[in-house]
Amino acid sequence: MGKDKGPSFNLKTPKGTKDWCGSDAILRDRIFTTIADVFKRHGGTALDTPVFELREILAGKYGEDSKLIYDLQDQGGEICSLRYDLTVPFARWLAMNPDVRNIKRYHIAKVYRRDQPAVSKGRMREFYQCDFDIAGTFDAMIPDAEVMRIVSEVFEELGWNGRYTIKINHRKILDGVFQVCGVPEDKIRPISSAVDKLDKMSWADVRKEMVEKGLDGAVADLIETYVMNKGGRELLNKLLQDERLTANASAKAGLDDMALMMDYLEAFNVLDKISFDMSLARGLDYYTGVIYEVVTEGSAPAVQSDAPEAEQLKKASKKGKSKNPEDEDRSDDPTLGVGSVAAGGRYDNLVGMFLPKAQIPCVGISFGVDRIFSITKARLEREQNAKSLRNSEVDVLVMAFGGKGFTGMLKERMDICQKLWSAGIKAEFSYKSKPKPQQQFKAAEDGGIPFGIIIGEDELAAGKVKIKEMGLDKDHPEKEGVEVELASLIPEIQARLAKKQGGSVVSLAQQLQGVQV
C-alpha cells in the first residue's frame, strides 16, 4: 500500500523541532529524573496539564510575545492554542480548583513558541521546561528561601559542584530605587528593562538608552550608584543604612524581605551560592517580589535574537573581558552563550487574572533543561566518559560460541536472558539463530555493553557459564573471562555490576564530581 507514491514526502521534523534519541535522550532523561527527585524531596506534587488550552486562557498574558503562540485550526468546536509556558496553565488550574489554597507543584513538559529558531544555540520552537512553584499564603520569605535551596540542590546533584551563582534582587527594591532617584512613574518599566541589559551591555550604553528613553542624565547617574552594586549581606547592610532609600516604602519593604531571606538562606546553608545583584530586573511584568536568575561560570549572557551580536560577545570575552585564563581555548565551547540556566520569582497577582476573588500568592522557578543539557553533555564529553553516552543501558550480552556443528544455542540464550530479566538485569542476545562469535563480540563493543555471558555446549552441559568483562587490559587476570556455576550466575553477575558501578547506577553528580566547567 502506498508503494506507488514514491518518496514524495518531505522527510523532516517541523521547523524548530527535533527528534531526541539514543545517548542524548538518555542523558536528558537522567537530568529530568535528577530534577524531579529534588522536587519530590521538597514535597512537590506533580501536575500535568493538556498541551493545548482554550485560546482565551492564554490571551493577554504574554504581551507582545502573544504573536509567538501556536494556534490550533478551527475544526469546529473550541478554539485552542498550544501552551506557551507552564505558569499560566498552573494559574488556570489553581483558579479552577478553589479547594486548593496552597500547594507545591512541579511540572516537567514541553512548551511551544513560534520564535525564530536557533538550533545551534538550543533555541527551539518546541522545548522542555521544568517548573517548581509554591502557591499559598505563608509567612514572608519562607517559601522563597526554600526555592533557592531547591535551585542549589538541583545543580549540586547535576554535578555542577558549586560552579553556579544565583543572582537575586527584589522588584520592590528596584522600584524604590527608581522612585528615590526620580524616575517618573510611567518610565519605571522601560528604565527597568534598560537596567536588565547590564549583564550584556556596558553602563555607558545602558545610560545612553535611558537618556534616549527621555530620562534626565542626572537621574541616570544617580541610578548608576545603586544598580552597579552586587554582593551579599554587606551590601544589604549598606542599603539599610541609606536613609533616603529606607524612607521609601517600597524600598524599605523590599530590603526587609531581603534581610529575612538572607537569614533563611543561611539556615538552609545556601547563602554562599547567592549574589544580591541590583541590576537584575527580569522581563516579565507579573513579578511582584523577589526575582532570581542562575548563571554558570564561563557562560556568556543570553543573546536572544541576534546571531552576529553573539559572535561579537564571544570575541569580546576572548579578548580579555574575563580574566579566567582558561577562556582562550573555549571559543567553540557549547556552554558559552547559553545565558541563564534557571530563573523565576514571586508573582502574587497572576491567579487573580483568572479569578479576582482567588488571589493566591505564588513563587517559583523554571529550569531551562535544554541549556542544562548542553552544558552537562559538554562536560561529560570533555571527561571522555563514553559509558554515560551510550545509546542504551544494557549491562549484559548473552553469547554462545561453538565449534563444528554448532547449533547456535538460541533457546539456551533465551533461557539465560529470561533469568537475567527476571532478576531485573538489563540483557540482550543476538536475534540470529546461529550468530558468529565475532558478530556477538562486535555487538557488545559497539553497544558499550560492559559484560558478556558466554555459553558453550559442553560447559552448559556441565552446569557452567563464563562471565567476561569487556574491555579489560590484556594482562588482567580475568581478561579471558571467569567460569561460574550456572546456578550462581545471577548473584555473580549482580556482584560484578555493583562493583563496576555501571552508568545506570552512578548519579550525574558522581559522574561529574570534580569536573571543571
Instruction: Residue 143: count other Cβ atoms within 10 Å of its Cβ.
Output: 22
85 in a known ligand binding site: yes
Using CB under 8 A, pick the residue from 65, 136, 211, 246 that binds a copy of itself: 136
Using CB under 8 A, pick the residue from 62, 118, 138, 464 that binds a copy of itself: 138
- CB 383 to a copy of itself: min, Å: 22
384 near a copy of itself, rule: CB under 8 A: no
Q: Is 240 helix (H, G, I), strand (E, B) or coil?
A: helix
Using CB under 8 A, pick the residue from 86, 88, 105, 341 that binds a copy of itself: 105
114 near a copy of itself, rule: CB under 8 A: yes
376 in a known ligand binding site: no
Instruction: Residue 483: count other Cβ atoms within 10 Å of its Cβ.
Output: 12
In the region spanning residues 244 to 263, those forming contacts with a copy of itself, defined by CB under 8 A, are 263
- CB 64 to a copy of itself: min, Å: 15
Which is nearer to a copy of itself, 301 or 361 (by Cβ)?
Answer: 361
DSSP state of 51: S
49 in a known ligand binding site: no
Residues 6 or more apart from 453 whose CB is under 8 A from it? 396, 397, 398, 399, 416, 420, 465, 466, 467, 468, 489, 493
The strand pair at 126-135 and 274-277 is best described as: unpaired
Could you give the CA distance from residue 480 to residue 466 in angstroms, rounded to a whole number? 9
226 near a copy of itself, rule: CB under 8 A: no
436 near a copy of itself, rule: CB under 8 A: no
113 in a known ligand binding site: yes
The strand pair at 164-170 and 274-277 is best described as: parallel
Could you give the CA distance from residue 88 to residue 464 in angstroms, rounded to a whole number? 61
In the region spanning residues 190 to 219, those forming contacts with a copy of itself, defined by CB under 8 A, are none
CA 230-233-237 angle, 5° bins:
95
Could you give the CA distance from residue 267 to residue 165 in angstroms, rounded to a whole number? 18
Using CB under 8 A, pick the residue from 73, 241, 384, 438 that binds a copy of itself: 73
Binding region for a copy of itself (CB under 8 A) out of 322-330, 335-343, 419-427, 479-487:
419-427
Could you give the CA distance from residue 83 to residue 126 in angstroms, rounded to a whole number? 10
In the region spanning residues 280 to 309, those forming contacts with a copy of itself, defined by CB under 8 A, are 285-286
- CB 108 to a copy of itself: min, Å: 10
Using CB under 8 A, pick the residue from 415, 457, 459, 492 that binds a copy of itself: 415
In the region spanning residues 321 to 380, those forming contacts with a copy of itself, defined by CB under 8 A, are 349, 352-357
Residue 104 phi/psi, 5° resolution?
-105, 115
47 near a copy of itself, rule: CB under 8 A: yes
- CB 151 to a copy of itself: min, Å: 12
Using CB under 8 A, pick the residue from 31, 34, 35, 52 that binds a copy of itself: 52
Nearest-CA neighbor of 132 among 370, 374, 369, 376?
369
- CB 203 to a copy of itself: min, Å: 31
Residue 152 C-alpha from the chain's centroid: 13
Binding region for a copy of itself (CB under 8 A) out of 50-58, 162-170, 301-309, 477-485:
50-58
186 near a copy of itself, rule: CB under 8 A: no
87 in a known ligand binding site: yes
Could you give the CA distance from residue 36 to residue 44 in angstroms, rounded to a whole number? 9
Could you give the CA distance from residue 320 to residue 327 in angstroms, rounded to a whole number? 8
Amino acid (1-letter code) at residue 279:
S
Binding positions for L-histidine are 85-87, 113, 129, 133, 282, 286-287
